[in-house]
Structure 1
Amino acid sequence: MARKVAGFGEGDLRTLAGARSFERGLGYLDAVTGLEVGDTSVTAVVHGTDVYEVELALGGGAGISGWCDCPYGQEGNFCKHCVAVGLTVLRQAEAIPRRRAAARARAVGLEEWLEGLSRDELVALVREQIAGDRELRRRLELRAAAAHSDLGTIRERVLALVDPRSFARYGYVGYADALGYARQVEEAADALRALASGKHAAQAVDLAEEAIRVLGEAYGEIDDSDGVVGQAATAVAEAHLEACQAARPDPERLAQWLVGQLLGDGNDATDFDPLDYAHVLGSAGLARLRHLAAEARRRSPNGWAEQYLLERLVKAEGDVDALVALYAKDLVPSGATHVRIAEELEAADRADEALAWAERGLRDTAEEAHVDGRLADYVYARYKSAGRMAEAVAVRRDRLLAERSLAAYQQLRAAARTADCWETERDAALAVLREGAHREHGGWYGGPVLIDALLDDGDLDAAWREAADGADDRQWQQLADHLREIRPADALAVYLRLVEPLKEPTGDRVYERMARLLLDARACHQALGTEDEFSAYLAELRAELKRRRKLMTLLDRHGL
């Protein structure tokens, strides 16, 4: 398996999959069947929890890539099934070049044969194929109907394709059937595009809207975990746009339909952007759209969809003051809206007003613990660029008072160092965190932020003193890791204490953590010259936990 085939080797598979998926892939080598080698790809079936189809692309400039229809593979990952197929290909390395050459020869032979067939022979061949392939037959029937302007047949077939009932075996379309249904919806989108490109664009608009309605009503009863139905529905929406561009329907009527689609209950299946229709709507349609959006906003002042639609339309008009006024009606407590206003004003070359809005945001959020970080960053950057360093440091200081986090401490430290005043700021900042340590504010996983800050400063002695009053396990281990070289006895005591609670739970993650701590403890004993003590401790630990075979195997692997 060490050799390379089609530009990849075992190491490439391990890199793509990661160590965990690669190791799991080794267990599926005997589950690979139906290996087919093409000129540029390999396909196979892998029998796991289900039967999965795998395709590996070979010999491309970007190296090997893989696709699998298992859930993990459909998220874009190079899964264990891809690994198993890749390893199978490597096992057959000597035969692969010959099989790829044979695939190329077959492709050339097929092309030459097709080109040599007469018209009657080609028609007979197509008839033979559609007799045994229902999906191909449907596609060709739609093309024939479009070619003959058979609008009744086209409408019937498109609506049949978007009808989910044949896939709803239990009253809804399950995960296993979603892909099949999505393929039908994509066929409907193709048919609508073909209709729109001919003489019947107006009919394509109406039919697309009817199909979108059906999709919207059905989508709530579909398990579209992988988003395949949503993608197909978006293709139908794109066909609607193409049809509108060709047919130029009444702009005010189109505006009414778009608002209903964007704000209605059945809008989850498709993703419309009203500005995509700007050229079709024209000034009259956009004005109507804006009016309808404003009315909807008044009826539902807290509706996010109504707010988003109105914002998009106002922004498209380029009226910055109107957009600022719209944003200002709903200033969220995190300060995110203040940032948006500042950014819009700055983009309009109104920097002074932008800064004033951001400063207002700092005042409005002064007592909030959770504030959009961009707000303080915005004001700080403007103060710094203007040479107003005392005010810039004050921005970071105020944020630390409200937030008491390691990030806020780090930002204050960076600002104060730039202003050459960190020595005077540090004591006050630590006092703020020391006070916070007695409240409900914690570090990343519950320990005091004060200890994180001292560790981040490299002040290990102070961190060790503070840890005695309430560090969490993460902070203790971080302390021990820093102290191992200079104070191995202190670090050893921490590592051994952290091992104790790991004796009860089980699982790979627990065992890996225990092994890591034991390796650290051994390093401390080696630095202290007390290796015999560690050997005795380890022997006692192994005897105590000997029934945990996976742990014993892991300890053996680490030489423990």
Structure 2
Amino acid sequence: MARDVDFDEADLRALAGPRSFERGRGYLAAVAAVEVGDGWITATVHGTDAYRAELILDGPDGLAGECDCPHGMEGNFCKHLVALGLTVLAEPEAVPRQRGRARARAQELDAWLAALSGDELLALVREQVSENRQLARRLELRAASARGDLVEVRARIRELFDTAPFARYGFVEYADAHTYGEQASQAMSAIAALTAAGRAADAISLSREAMRLLSEAQDAIDDSDGHLGRIGAALAEAHLDACRAARPDSDETARWLVGHLLSDLDDLTGIDPLDYEDVLGAQGMAQVRGLAAAAWRRHRTGWAEKYLMERLAKAGGDVDGWVAVHAADLAPDGSTHLGIARELDTAGRQDEALRWAERGIEEAPDDVAPDNALIDYLCDRYTCANRLRDAVALRHGQFARRRSLAAYRRLRAAARAAGCWQAERERALVLLRADAGQRQQSWYGGPVLVDALLDDGDVDAAWRAADETGAHDRQWLALADQARAVRPAAALGVYLRLAEPLMRQTGNAVYEQLTSLLLSMRDCHRSLGTEDEFTAHLDALRADQRRKRNLMRLLDRHGL
């Protein structure tokens, strides 16, 4: 059976996330003034303030929503929208009926407006303009456009992008940024209307100026919700539409396009040069490529220059050009070499790719560790080519530079594949023993030597190393767990020592750790045949810790 509404609780949870969804359940009683339209549902939801929430039922991606609470203004599907959605789902049969009424009202309104005379419509518009300043601004701008008064239109657009009326102490704060953005959107709409009215050349000029004004304004605005980026993208689209309609001079447009893409203005507009291929034609695009290459030669490490050259080279299938751009600014750790190698792989040029990857290792300075992903790439290539010893050499160098358990494991895997693990293991353990003797530890505590020996399953050697060089409590616990069956007395000593400080702490996580240790102690006593001693220890612990009710319940649950 078809649903009465086009969403359910699962949709709300997916949009909001578990936390906001559960918090939204607590706001059901705060939802008021629900209004259903044809494709939207609005309400006021009372929280810290009274917020206006709107569910959009027929969006391009299905259900969506907007709310003017701080979380919603950041583009999130907030708890207030969840509360509104749950309120709607409580009476799903009402939504289709109310949407039908809203559609009927819209049709009745359209019919009424169509029946009005010209004088009556004019009076109605004047009435609305007198009451709605935003509408008045939009219509004033449309009127100036219709008159062909480009001077007036440009002046009005400059006013709309002026931050002064909204700025406090020279800055437009978050609370005022949305209103500023709405005003700036009016300018964007007016520019787009010029193209529709057959004045595309004027729209080109004004859209470029508007992009510049918007860019100049952005540093003085708290645009946390990204509204300016949406306006910038709309201005870019209006400019492209105007260019397609007016077919401006390709040389001038190419120069403007490259200048724009290499400037700070593109941060807001995100123009893709390839979108202009149909406007510029082959000659214009050739000029774009030439101008871009000249700019890149002047500033080979510039981010904008590199991005533009990379985009153009990719689109044109110019692999050598793409490689040249990146080869001009190589990272010392070989990560750029790896990017080049992968691009060459994609182009089917595997031999060149391998050479670039090897250069990344060879050219890395002595004080810079090669990128781990580059080493992984080369080891994979060497393994496929049966160059197993070369892979081992790379892994040994990687381990020697940073002696971690992860690097030890990679070395072990490569050396086992090459049949030389025993010799490589001895070399690696020499380095780890030297580190342990100098008290060098892994980033999460304890000497890597103990972890490596444990990972090898060499528990006896790991225990000796821990006794000789010291170990982290985490490592002692792992040692005790692995040695419990053959060293129950030694393991028991570890468990008792680790449990001691937990007796003075509280919290469910602590109780879980303590219970786990007690279960391990019980196993040790069973192996030793000293169950009575464990029972006495447990009784004493229960008597001492009896006030910790959660701990007592946990012990009961585990039969302790």
**Residue identity opposite 1:161 in structure 2:** L
- Aligned positions of 1:15-164 closer than 5 A: 21=20, 24-25=23-24, 28=27, 31-36=30-35, 43-55=42-54, 68-73=67-72, 79-85=78-84, 93=90, 96-121=91-116, 123=121, 129-143=128-142, 146=145, 149-164=148-163
- Aligned positions of 1:499-538 closer than 5 A: 499=502, 511=507, 513-521=509-517, 523-524=519-520, 530=534, 533=537, 537=541
C-alpha contact (below 8 Å) 2:412/2:425 kept by paired residues: yes
Distance 2:7 2:213 in 1: 48
C-alpha contact (below 8 Å) 2:332/2:368 kept by paired residues: no
Distance 1:18 1:141 in 2: 44
- What does residue 549 of structure 1 align with? none
Distance 2:536 2:96 in 1: 63
- What does residue 499 of structure 2 align with? 496
Aligned to 1:171, what secondary structure does the other structure show? Answer: coil
Distance 1:106 1:6 in 2: 17
Query: Greater Rg, structure 1 or structure 2?
Result: 2
Q: How has the CA–CA distance of structure 1 residues 242 and 18 changed in structure 2, closer, same or farther, with 3 Å as cutoff?
A: closer
- What does residue 333 of structure 1 align with? 332
- Aligned positions of 1:358-377 closer than 5 A: 358-365=357-364, 367=366, 370-377=369-376
Distance 2:176 2:100 in 1: 36
How much has 1:379 moved relative to structure 2?
1.9
- What does residue 240 of structure 2 align with? 241
- What does residue 188 of structure 1 align with? 187
- What does residue 219 of structure 2 align with? 220
Distance 2:48 2:543 in 1: 40
The unaligned stretches of length 5 or more in structure 1 are 504-510, 547-551
C-alpha contact (below 8 Å) 2:130/2:136 kept by paired residues: yes
C-alpha contact (below 8 Å) 1:208/1:236 kept by paired residues: yes
- What does residue 508 of structure 1 align with? none
How much has 1:311 moved relative to structure 2?
3.9
Q: How has the CA–CA distance of structure 1 residues 534 and 112 changed in structure 2, closer, same or farther, with 3 Å as cutoff?
A: farther
- What does residue 378 of structure 1 align with? 377
1:327-376 deviation per Cα after TM superposition (whole angstroms, max 9, x unaligned): 33322112122112223333343321221111111222374554333322
Q: How has the CA–CA distance of structure 1 residues 187 and 60 changed in structure 2, closer, same or farther, with 3 Å as cutoff?
A: closer
C-alpha contact (below 8 Å) 2:38/2:103 kept by paired residues: no
Aligned to 2:116, what secondary structure does the other structure show? Answer: helix
C-alpha contact (below 8 Å) 1:162/1:215 kept by paired residues: yes
Aligned to 2:158, what secondary structure does the other structure show? Answer: helix
**Residue identity opposite 2:402 in structure 1:** E
Distance 2:58 2:283 in 1: 54
Distance 1:228 1:481 in 2: 57
Q: How has the CA–CA distance of structure 1 residues 246 and 457 changed in structure 2, closer, same or farther, with 3 Å as cutoff?
A: farther
Distance 1:481 1:78 in 2: 47
Distance 2:461 2:86 in 1: 53
**Residue identity opposite 1:338 in structure 2:** H
Report which stretch shifted further, 253-262 or 12-21.
12-21
- What does residue 506 of structure 1 align with? none
Q: How has the CA–CA distance of structure 1 residues 423 and 293 changed in structure 2, closer, same or farther, with 3 Å as cutoff?
A: same
Q: How has the CA–CA distance of structure 1 residues 14 and 282 changed in structure 2, closer, same or farther, with 3 Å as cutoff?
A: closer
Distance 2:384 2:199 in 1: 60
Aligned to 1:249, what secondary structure does the other structure show? Answer: coil
Quick check: 1:401 aligned with 2:400?
A: yes
**Residue identity opposite 1:110 in structure 2:** R
Please tell me the root mean square deviation across aligned C-alpha atoms, in Å: 4.5
The unaligned stretches of length 5 or more in structure 2 are 526-530
Aligned to 2:187, what secondary structure does the other structure show? Answer: helix
Identity of aligned residues (%): 50
Aligned to 2:231, what secondary structure does the other structure show? Answer: helix
**Residue identity opposite 1:405 in structure 2:** S
How much has 1:98 moved relative to structure 2?
4.5
How much has 1:225 moved relative to structure 2?
2.4
**Residue identity opposite 1:309 in structure 2:** L
Distance 2:62 2:245 in 1: 42
Aligned to 2:276, what secondary structure does the other structure show? Answer: helix
Q: How has the CA–CA distance of structure 1 residues 116 and 25 changed in structure 2, closer, same or farther, with 3 Å as cutoff?
A: closer
Distance 2:68 2:263 in 1: 33
Q: How has the CA–CA distance of structure 1 residues 410 and 117 changed in structure 2, closer, same or farther, with 3 Å as cutoff?
A: farther
How much has 1:233 moved relative to structure 2?
1.4
Quick check: 1:354 aligned with 2:353?
A: yes
- What does residue 210 of structure 2 align with? 211
Distance 2:15 2:179 in 1: 29
Distance 1:352 1:53 in 2: 61
Report which stretch shifted further, 374-383 or 310-319.
310-319
Q: How has the CA–CA distance of structure 1 residues 440 and 222 changed in structure 2, closer, same or farther, with 3 Å as cutoff?
A: farther
C-alpha contact (below 8 Å) 1:404/1:441 kept by paired residues: no
C-alpha contact (below 8 Å) 2:337/2:357 kept by paired residues: yes
Q: How has the CA–CA distance of structure 1 residues 303 and 110 changed in structure 2, closer, same or farther, with 3 Å as cutoff?
A: same
C-alpha contact (below 8 Å) 2:37/2:102 kept by paired residues: no
Q: How has the CA–CA distance of structure 1 residues 238 and 78 changed in structure 2, closer, same or farther, with 3 Å as cutoff?
A: closer
Distance 1:14 1:461 in 2: 52
Q: How has the CA–CA distance of structure 1 residues 497 and 324 changed in structure 2, closer, same or farther, with 3 Å as cutoff?
A: farther
- What does residue 528 of structure 2 align with? none
C-alpha contact (below 8 Å) 2:255/2:291 kept by paired residues: yes
C-alpha contact (below 8 Å) 2:473/2:498 kept by paired residues: no
**Residue identity opposite 1:385 in structure 2:** C
Distance 1:328 1:475 in 2: 45
| TM-score (normalised: structure 1) | 0.77
C-alpha contact (below 8 Å) 1:6/1:58 kept by paired residues: yes
How much has 1:274 moved relative to structure 2?
3.3
**Residue identity opposite 2:99 in structure 1:** R
Aligned to 1:117, what secondary structure does the other structure show? Answer: helix
Q: How has the CA–CA distance of structure 1 residues 76 and 536 changed in structure 2, closer, same or farther, with 3 Å as cutoff?
A: farther
- Aligned positions of 1:471-486 closer than 5 A: 471-472=471-472
Distance 2:360 2:248 in 1: 45
Q: How has the CA–CA distance of structure 1 residues 66 and 198 changed in structure 2, closer, same or farther, with 3 Å as cutoff?
A: closer
How much has 1:214 moved relative to structure 2?
0.7
Aligned to 2:92, what secondary structure does the other structure show? Answer: helix
Report which stretch shifted further, 529-538 or 270-279.
529-538
Distance 1:62 1:12 in 2: 12
**Residue identity opposite 1:155 in structure 2:** R
| TM-score (normalised: structure 2) | 0.77
Distance 1:439 1:220 in 2: 52
C-alpha contact (below 8 Å) 2:36/2:102 kept by paired residues: no
- What does residue 179 of structure 1 align with? 178
How much has 1:166 moved relative to structure 2?
2.6
Distance 2:133 2:55 in 1: 28
**Residue identity opposite 1:206 in structure 2:** S
- What does residue 252 of structure 2 align with? 253
**Residue identity opposite 2:346 in structure 1:** A
